[in-house]
Structure 1
Amino acid sequence: MRWTPHATVACIVEQQGRFLFVEEIAGGRRVINQPAGHLEQGESFVEAARREALEETGWIVEPEALLGLYTYYAPSNGVTYHRYCFIARAVEQLPDAQLDTGIIGPLWLTRTEIEARRPELRSDLVIRCIDDYLRGIRYPLDFIQENA
């Protein structure tokens, strides 16, 4: 059997010191994550980031930079995830947006509030990406080369 990592995207969205998060049910427990999900066939990474943020939070976001590429091995299911994490600007919240199954709703949390809820984080990547963002790490979107 061939090893196949899962390609995922996530967004760091910050407004006035608060970060956009998703509260959801995953693996039978309530967790907190950045808006994130899997890349779909034929979709660019930026398109996937926009779609996932909308489907999970009801927010239209616009990716402005790449924070980084992360690898995470999930011991719970034995899957390796390759995460493209974007820095995005919140554009507009759609009040009647239909959120994905399992989503409880969006949250806006400070770094301190995130730390206080560390046991609820879906993975260690959640806090690592916030801290990388706060350190000022940024790459231009054209760092990612995709077929048109």
Structure 2
Amino acid sequence: MPRAPVPSYYFALVVVRRGDRFLVVREVKHGQLWYLPAGRVEQGESLFEGARREVLEETGIAVELTGLLRVEHTAHAEMTRVRVFLTAEPVDERPPKSTADEHSLEARWVTLAELRALPLRGDEVEELFTAVERGLPVYPLSVITPEGAPWR
């Protein structure tokens, strides 16, 4: 007997870094706490397009994706969630947005010390940024490729 398909949701979470500072966003949802730029990839959108869009919408910063940190896959009976952690750099020196809209309340560049003073959505933000600062391995973006891409 065939199994029913399970909806799968993909989320891009992006660590944007400039020197010793990380880009964080104060969310509209989730208790208006601080988090890294992140969001669900929309139907018909590539993972990389979704990642760049989410960062731009939430922070006002255009980025170039630079690497892959890890992929988390969590299966539930009713759905599957895949979280893909990417790294990125800003494409220019523009400041983060400071006016609230439907995507976020504000965004900021922070050091790890400054991050610790913010009310965070979860401990994973500080843990992740600390690991990146300490040299967590970053894998090339080419490990994620569309179906049918040539093997090199």
Assess, with a 3 A threshold, how the Cα gap between structure 1 residues 100 and 94 changes in structure 2: closer, same or farther.
same
Assess, with a 3 A threshold, how the Cα gap between structure 1 residues 21 and 97 changes in structure 2: closer, same or farther.
closer
Q: Which amino acid aligns with 1:46?
A: F
**In structure 2, what is the equivalent of residue 131 of structure 1?**
130
- For the residues of structure 2 that align with 1:146 and 1:25, how far apart are their CA atoms? 33
- Structure-1-length-normalised TM-score: 0.78
Q: Which amino acid aligns with 1:122?
A: R
Matches within 5 A, 1:70-89: 70=72, 81-89=81-89
- CA shift digits 1:60-80 (9 cap, x unpaired): 00101111123579xxxxx87
Assess, with a 3 A threshold, how the Cα gap between structure 1 residues 101 and 143 changes in structure 2: closer, same or farther.
same
TM-fit CA distance, 1:48: 0.8
The structure carrying a bigger strand percent of its residues is 1
Say if 1:60 and 1:94, in contact at 8 Å, map to a contact too: no
- When the two chains are superposed, the root-mean-square deviation of aligned CA atoms in Å is 3.0
What secondary structure does 1:145 align onto?
coil
**In structure 2, what is the equivalent of residue 76 of structure 1?**
none
What secondary structure does 2:116 align onto?
helix
Q: Which amino acid aligns with 2:18?
A: Q
**In structure 2, what is the equivalent of residue 36 of structure 1?**
38
Q: Which amino acid aligns with 1:15?
A: R
- For the residues of structure 1 that align with 2:117 and 2:63, how far apart are their CA atoms? 26
2:23 maps to which of 2, 20, 43: 20
Report which stretch shifted further, 54-63 or 87-96.
Answer: 87-96
- Structure-2-length-normalised TM-score: 0.76
Say if 1:72 and 1:125, in contact at 8 Å, map to a contact too: no
- For the residues of structure 1 that align with 2:73 and 2:108, how far apart are their CA atoms? 25
Q: Which amino acid aligns with 1:82?
A: V
**In structure 2, what is the equivalent of residue 121 of structure 1?**
120
Q: Which amino acid aligns with 1:12?
A: V
Q: Which runs of 5+ in 1 are unaligned?
A: 74-78
Say if 2:23 and 2:108, in contact at 8 Å, map to a contact too: yes
How many residues are matched?
141
TM-fit CA distance, 1:37: 0.4
Q: Which runs of 5+ in 2 are unaligned?
A: none
Assess, with a 3 A threshold, how the Cα gap between structure 1 residues 65 and 99 changes in structure 2: closer, same or farther.
farther
